[in-house]
Copies of this chain bind each other. A is one copy, B any other.
Amino acid sequence: MTVVEAPVPVAEPSPAPAAEPERTQQGVAIICYSGELEKTWAAMILASTAGAMGMPAKVFVTFWGLQTFVKDGKRVTGQNWMQKMLSVMSRPGIKHRKMSKMNFLGMGPWMMFKLAKQYGVASPAELLEAAQLMGVEFVPCQMTMDMFGLTRDDLIEGMGEPVGAATYLSYVAEGASPIFI
């Protein structure tokens, strides 16, 4: 989620569309929306591969996706009881993602990690680290941070400044291809 900076409803579209500058920035602008294990994996594979290819890549982390980027040690996050309850119901951290189906109280993820290891596939946590080292930028959504009561200190090291949807869309306006995961 991201704060829409005071969307003042106006009666007609802006006369001068300012949002289509030269498309200088290419590459991908991934929205990491989901907190599920499989989609986290998909997002990290695309991000780290783009990094390895030298392809510009930014990852905008929002909604349930932001829980993935909470430090591993953090167990409860949030300022008020509702925010705390949300973090308790769904444990944060990239190592604690659940599968969208066939989770079987953790047996599904256990099998996936076992199969991944057997076939030499890196885990989401390893891929995240590789992506960061290769210059992929992960930026948290300001609005999600507000709504979940997350602070910069709750998040893993190396993330960018929190931004809103307008900043994300400016990447697209500059030519990056959006991928919503």
Contact = CB atoms under 8 A, between A and B. Distances in A.
B89 A63 contact: no
A4 to B, nearest CB: 5
A122 interface: yes
B127 A7 contact: yes
A128 to B, nearest CB: 11
Contacts of A143: 45, 119, 121
Number of this chain's copies in the assembly equals 3
A52 interface: yes
Instruction: Assign chain A's interface to a size class.
Output: 35 or more
A44 to B, nearest CB: 9
Given A89-B102, A115-B82, A7 B130 contact: yes
A76 interface: no
A49 B10 contact: no
10 residue pairs, one from A and one from B, having the closest CB atoms: A13-B135, A19-B55, A14-B54, A17-B54, A49-B165, A9-B133, A19-B53, A119-B146, A7-B130, A9-B130
